[in-house]
Structure 1
Amino acid sequence: MTDYGHELIFGGFLTPTAGQPEQVVALAKLCEQVGLDLVTFQDHPYQPGHLDTWTLMSYLAAATSRIRLAGNVLNLPLRQPVVLARSVASLDLLSGGRVELGLGAGAFWEAIEAAGGRRLTPSQAVDALDEAVRVIREVWAADRRGMVRVEGEHYRVVGAKRGPAPAHDVGIWVGAYKPRMLRLVGRVADGWLPSLAYLAKGPGELAELNALVDEGAEAAGREPRSVRRLLNVSGRFGRSRSDFLDGPPEQWVEELTGLALDHGTSGFILGADDPTAIQLFAQEVAPAVRELVAAERAEPGSRARALEEQREVVEAGGATALAVTATPDPGVRLSGRRLWDETTRPVAPAAPAGHVYTPHAQAVGAHLVDVHDHLRQELGQLRDLLQQVRRGAVSADDARAALNEMTMRQNNWTLGAYCAAYCTVVSQHHGLEDNSIFPHLRRVDAGLGPVLDRLEEEHVAIHGVVEGVDRALVELIREPGDFSAVREAVDLLTDTLLSHLSYEERVIVEPLARYGFYAGQV
């Protein structure tokens, strides 16, 4: 067992597709929204189908507020180390210390050479990386006197000025697989970042490769635990257990916990462009792995007991992971208006450790998503109606009549779409008033107060937006031909409604599954 004791971090590994730039931006924002610590991007500057990774990271640093960013890994042969060092330091300063440096010695040498880089042998690539790390650290050492002086075979930097220094101690994480490169990681790097898919023997190879990193660290007089071990992982979330990381969330939890405690892996980066997989990884897998690792570190042997309890729960028909996931915010905004600052939204308190969700509790949580899906469908119908009005197939008066029949119009939004669309139904069975759910959640969990306050504020704003669509349709009836006001009103409704529904699902699906709609339901 090798646990190096690092705090666990969880991240995403996204494809920087140039053909759909808005998609990768939305996925990166989703990674932040669901609580991941890090978002990373592959770097192939010779690949015309990809966005430039450094440009993308710079854009996202301005579009996010908390999540850390890194290349996975940056292509050193096409990124000169002095410039790279200053680029990293600059973005780290501009982002408030949110940049890490994933670095690779290079691959696909024909493509690198075709793009103007130098073709290197494997041995030369190791030496070049060694020299580059020295250059980068020297540039960052802005408090030292004198100029940078690294007279290497591949990088000769003599007389360059130092600085700027990054805002925090940027980690240099190196992608490596071969013995000489792994020993170099131990000597000079802050972290080792391989991909599980590239390990010929799978997870079982980690012990052997870790030993080489340790060997390099010890030879340089460093503590092996000073080198963080990260891992790019990929797999599939499914109902039944199959291969490694191919099965339900509880299987992922068990297997990643094993990697952390048995092989010292403290950074797990999911290679996936699927929003549902990202959400499951962030909201179901990551918290449970953190909990199990912390418990085992505090009390050795607790992991085995916890996993056995989990298996018993699953066999009894329950689950320790909530299978319901929030619908992602599309991330694309159609209107230039913003009714609220999404970065100020409160976060719901974490669920208690080891909570068991019965099948009924899972269904309670899922029903919120089902009702929201109905509202999303109505929004699609409304946008389609607008197109029909523009084509002359439907009159503005008919469109207004259709809007007034929709749930989103009938609801006064004082307590949200959920209560209007669902509470009236359950009240027939339970005597539940439309305004009972939020007070119930406030009573059972005071920590939800800020979240519920924010939801109610947004409900009031959405009420005004829906009213604005109706007013725009009235004006269109009076002044046919000018669709700009209606289009702007519907675009604003689309932005606010989709953003709000996604947020509401993120913060109250789990409490609803845990507490139900009223006392004693779950």
Structure 2
Amino acid sequence: MTDYGHELLFGAFLTPDARQPEQVVARARFCEQVGLDLVTFQDHPYQPGFLDTWTLMSYLAAATSRIRLAGNVLNLPLRQPVVLARSVASLDLLSGGRVELGLGAGAFWDAIEANGGRRLTPGQSVDALDEAIRIVREVWAADRRGGVRVDGGHYRVVGAKRGPAPAHPVGIWVGAYKPRLLRLVGRTADGWLPSLSYLPQGPAGLAGPTALVDEGAAAAGRDPAEVRRLLNVSGRFTRTGAGFLDGPPQQWVRELTDLVLAHGTSGFILGADDPASLQVFAQEVAPAVRELVAAERSATAGPGPAGSGSTARVDPDGGVRAGSGAGSPVVRSAGPAGGQAREVVRAGGATGLAVTPTPAPQVRHSDHRLWDESTRPVAPPAPAGHVYSPQARAAGGHLVDVHDHLRRELGEIRDLLDQVRRGVVSAGEARGVLNRMTLRQNNWTLGAYCAAYCTLVTQHHGLEDDAIFPHLRRADPGLVPVIDRLEQEHVVIHEVVEGVDRALVALIGDPARLAGLQQAVDVLTDTLLSHLAYEEQSIVEPLARYGFYPGQL
């Protein structure tokens, strides 16, 4: 068993489609929203159908706040090493340490040559990559004296100034398959990044290349564990297993866990543009793999505070059980973390939705009432005996899933308030966190649902953010009073969120005004939870019946 002990990473490999740039950005933001660690893009500068990868990464660094970015992998023959080193370091500084350098020796040499690059033999491309990695590391070594000097056969740098240094130790991850290049990875790189589909024997084909990486590391006097092993993967989430990474999430969990423990793979990057697959990968597969691997590592390390009594196993029903002793929770297909477990939609129609709206809390935090809940219009009842397809039943559940995300953010705000009260964070820092939340970025003119979920829907259907409510108005005139009321409440909520921000600003100027912030957060809590409950009660069923756009269901 070979497990190098690295922290696990889960990411996405997105298509940089130049025909739909706004959807590429929306997908990357969605990857961050659902909790992935990394978003990556192929780099083919000679391909006019793709956005330029470096420009796209730079844009996304400003459009996101947490997720890491990498080329998968950058085309070295068309990226000059000194300029590339400074570009990576600059973006890493600007993004707060969120950039990694995926690097490739080159492929598609006709296209490279047609665009001004030099055609190299396989052996020459390995030598050129070796020289380029040396140059990049020398440029980043801003604390060394003297200029960068590398007199190579392919790159000649004679006294270039050093710097800037990146904000964090940027990983150089190399895509490699041939023996000489694999040994180079072990000798000089920080990570190996192949695609599983390019390995002739599938998962079993990892053993030979892994040994060559280890061999190269040992020959250079390095610990093989210094080299992270990542893997581009693809597959399907289906009800029953049909092959490797072609089955239910529980199967993916078992198979990816095996790759960690048997081959030392610690980064999994899913090649998919489908938001539903990305969400399952991020919120169902990734947490369960982390849980199983942590338990196995603790058990292997022996008894101790971190791993005492920890066990992990796969239940007979396919759920992954992790923890200690009887009654440990089973990780299932249950929607986003923090939400109520929801029945998995099964094949075939059904008369029940299997989606339960979340009621508003009975206990309120504030005496302020910004609307009269008794005057809320009621949605028309669903037709008796209406049969809902699996797709329709899932549509209603998505609204609750997005609301659960907003409820979690509300919990984060209340936790922030507690941290401000205890002096753990300043009011200015808390305001920065608030400004990055969906709650703050959403102008609420079309509701929590559209703001957080329309980005997902538009990736498939090209809908604008204002498409869903008008569609429901047209589909059922009886919903018009409900939609009108929801939009009125959205305007109120927007002002309430702004009120929290104003209270934070006031607290920055006067630390004694903590009571005002507490009141603002309490009003937000009562208002938001009341509204989300009403929205779910009103339109979960209509969304299941009419879909997000005309003709969807």
- Contact 2:105/2:128 (8 A) holds in 1: yes
Query: Does 1:92 find its partner at 2:118?
Result: no
Q: How does 1:470-481 map to 2 (within 5 A)?
A: none
Q: How far has the Cα of 1:370 moved from its partner?
A: 1.3
Q: What CA distance in whole angstroms lies between the structure 2 residues aligned with 1:408 and 1:33?
A: 28
Query: Does 1:285 find its partner at 2:311?
Result: no
Q: What CA distance in whole angstroms lies between the structure 1 residues aligned with 2:354 and 2:523?
A: 25
Q: Secondary structure at the match of 2:149?
A: strand
Q: What CA distance in whole angstroms lies between the structure 2 residues aligned with 1:267 and 1:296?
A: 17
User: Deviations 1:351-372 (Å, cap 9, x if unpaired)?
Assistant: 9xxx997999993469795176
Q: How far has the Cα of 1:405 moved from its partner?
A: 2.9
For residue 46 of structure 1, what is the amino acid of its counterpart? Y
Closer, same or farther in 2 for the Cα pair 1:123/1:379, shift >3 Å? closer
Query: Does 1:56 find its partner at 2:40?
Result: no
Query: Does 1:23 find its partner at 2:19?
Result: no
Q: What CA distance in whole angstroms lies between the structure 2 residues aligned with 1:30 and 1:253?
A: 22
Q: Secondary structure at the match of 1:39?
A: strand
Q: Which residue matches 1:268?
A: 268
Q: Which residue matches 1:363?
A: 354
Closer, same or farther in 2 for the Cα pair 1:452/1:231, shift >3 Å? farther
Identity fraction in percent: 66
For residue 166 of structure 1, what is the amino acid of its counterpart? P
Q: Which residue matches 2:485?
A: 409
Q: How far has the Cα of 1:406 moved from its partner?
A: 3.1
Q: Which residue matches 2:314?
A: 307
Give the structure-2-normalised TM-score: 0.64
Q: What CA distance in whole angstroms lies between the structure 1 residues aligned with 2:214 and 2:468?
A: 60
Q: How far has the Cα of 1:311 moved from its partner?
A: 3.1
More displaced 10-residue stretch of structure 1: 376-385 or 121-130: 376-385
Closer, same or farther in 2 for the Cα pair 1:313/1:70, shift >3 Å? closer
Q: What CA distance in whole angstroms lies between the structure 1 residues aligned with 2:197 and 2:355?
A: 37
- Contact 2:139/2:164 (8 A) holds in 1: yes
User: Deviations 1:16-39 (Å, cap 9, x if unpaired)?
Assistant: 000000111000001100111100
Query: Does 1:162 find its partner at 2:188?
Result: no
For residue 185 of structure 1, what is the amino acid of its counterpart? V
Q: How far has the Cα of 1:309 moved from its partner?
A: 4.9
For residue 383 of structure 1, what is the amino acid of its counterpart? P
User: Deviations 1:57-115 (Å, cap 9, x if unpaired)?
Assistant: 00000000000000000000000000000000000000000000000000000000000
Q: How does 1:6-45 map to 2 (within 5 A)?
A: 6-45=6-45
Query: Does 1:383 find its partner at 2:470?
Result: yes
Q: How does 1:115-514 map to 2 (within 5 A)?
A: 115-300=115-300, 306-309=313-316, 311=318, 320-323=330-333, 325=335, 363-364=354-355, 370=396, 380=467, 382-383=469-470, 404-406=480-482, 409=485, 456-458=526-528
For residue 70 of structure 2, what is the amino acid of its counterpart? A
Aligned residues: 395
Q: Secondary structure at the match of 2:313?
A: helix
Q: How far has the Cα of 1:383 moved from its partner?
A: 3.1
Q: Secondary structure at the match of 2:255?
A: helix
User: Deviations 1:178-202 (Å, cap 9, x if unpaired)?
Assistant: 0000000000000000000000010
Q: What CA distance in whole angstroms lies between the structure 2 residues aligned with 1:451 and 1:271?
A: 40
- Contact 2:105/2:125 (8 A) holds in 1: yes
Closer, same or farther in 2 for the Cα pair 1:382/1:26, shift >3 Å? closer
Q: What CA distance in whole angstroms lies between the structure 2 residues aligned with 1:26 and 1:152?
A: 42
Q: How does 1:78-89 map to 2 (within 5 A)?
A: 78-89=78-89
Give the structure-1-normalised TM-score: 0.68
Q: Show structure 1 runs of 5+ residues with no match.
A: 327-347, 389-398, 418-449, 467-496, 502-522
Q: Secondary structure at the match of 1:187?
A: helix
Closer, same or farther in 2 for the Cα pair 1:455/1:76, shift >3 Å? farther
Q: What CA distance in whole angstroms lies between the structure 2 residues aligned with 1:461 and 1:116?
A: 58
More displaced 10-residue stretch of structure 1: 274-283 or 299-308: 299-308
Q: What CA distance in whole angstroms lies between the structure 2 residues aligned with 1:23 and 1:310?
A: 38
Q: Secondary structure at the match of 1:406?
A: helix
Q: Show structure 2 runs of 5+ residues with no match.
A: 303-308, 322-328, 347-351, 358-392, 401-448, 455-464, 494-519, 544-553
Q: Secondary structure at the match of 1:218?
A: helix
